[in-house]
């Protein structure tokens, strides 16, 4: 299959492009900075800014018809909502939520005409559970999940599958672009406590590598019986399982106890 992967320059995107190519698929790896793709052994490497219509059109014209779209490109950021710059939040929505919508709008007509296709939207555990200091990122992923679920109902009739992949924490993690974000002293206690929660969520082995997500995406693409949502990682299974089984107050108290949060 011909598969286009957005945000393939690092971490989950690069691992996914590699896993898919090694499985024999024709992979078109894309990134805003195409130099980040230099180490990938894939069929095609193209520049792509999912927030820019002209960039999308140029990329898809060069790529040609595709069977599978993997929407992975994302922008992060960590700061208290009180001081989180609205311009950065807008950029996050443009990339994380509207970027996949733009890409889907471009590829769906061809998929519909051919009678088949797969759209994989890479969400996050934070598309289901919001955490401190990353509210805007979680909001963009909540939005992506809503878009994806609606799209699933709309295009399944045409033979197009939509899959939401929900990774937990992976190594090396997302580049959070925090350098220019405020770090107010009033929240230092929360920063300290939240920074210590990683090992409590991922366990003694630490974060798994991004290949775990790439393999989940490969399975989602090749297995037509894949459900709408795919959880990836033990932390995701644990946290989302608890979230589903508990009411808000019970879930909060349980997570505070597990993570050692007193803030």
* Domains in the chain, CATH or no CATH each: 2-188+208-244 (3.40.50.720)
Q: Output the pLDDT for position 197.
A: 83
Q: Say if residues 93 and 140 touch (Cβ distance below 8 Å).
A: yes
Annotated active-site positions, please?
137
Taking CA atoms, 90 is separated from 94, 102, 134, 195, 235, in Å, by 6, 15, 14, 25, 29
Q: Output the pLDDT for position 93.
A: 99
Region of residue 7 (left: phi > 0; alpha: psi -120 to 50; beta: else): left
Q: Output the pLDDT for position 192.
A: 92
Q: Output the pLDDT for position 174.
A: 57
pLDDT along the chain (263 residues), means of 10: 98 98 99 98 99 99 99 96 97 99 99 99 97 97 99 99 95 60 93 84 75 98 98 93 96 94 94
CB burial class (10 A; 0-12, 13-18, 19+) of residue 1?
Answer: middle
Q: Say if residues 177 and 136 touch (Cβ distance below 8 Å).
A: no
């Amino acid at each position: 299959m011909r598969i286009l992967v957005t945000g393939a320059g690092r971490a989950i995107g690069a691992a996914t492009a590699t896993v898919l190519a090694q499985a024999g698929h024709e992979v078109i790896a894309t990134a805003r900075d195409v130099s980040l793709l230099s180490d990938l052994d894939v069929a095609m490497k193209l520049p792509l800014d999912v927030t820019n219509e002209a960039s999308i059109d140029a990329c898809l014209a060069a790529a040609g018809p595709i069977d599978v779209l993997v929407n992975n490109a994302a922008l992060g950021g960590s700061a208290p909502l009180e001081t989180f710059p609205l311009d950065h939040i807008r950029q996050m929505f443009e990339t994380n939520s509207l970027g996949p919508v733009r890409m889907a709008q471009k590829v769906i007509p061809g998929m519909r005409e051919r009678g088949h296709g797969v759209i994989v939207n890479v969400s996050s555990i934070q598309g289901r559970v919001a955490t401190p200091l990353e509210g805007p990122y979680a909001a963009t992923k909540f939005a992506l999940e809503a878009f994806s679920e609606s799209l699933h109902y709309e295009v399944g009739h045409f033979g197009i599958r939509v899959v939401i992949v929900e990774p937990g924490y992976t190594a090396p993690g997302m580049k959070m672009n925090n350098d220019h974000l405020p770090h107010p002293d009033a929240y230092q206690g929360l920063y300290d406590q939240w920074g210590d929660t990683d090992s409590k969520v991922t366990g003694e082995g630490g974060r798994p590598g991004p290949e775990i997500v790439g393999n989940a995406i490969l399975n989602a693409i090749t297995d037509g019986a894949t459900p709408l949502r795919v959880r990836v990682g033990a932390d995701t299974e644990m946290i989302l399982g608890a979230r589903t089984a508990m009411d808000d107050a019970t879930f909060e108290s349980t997570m505070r106890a597990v993570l050692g949060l007193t803030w």
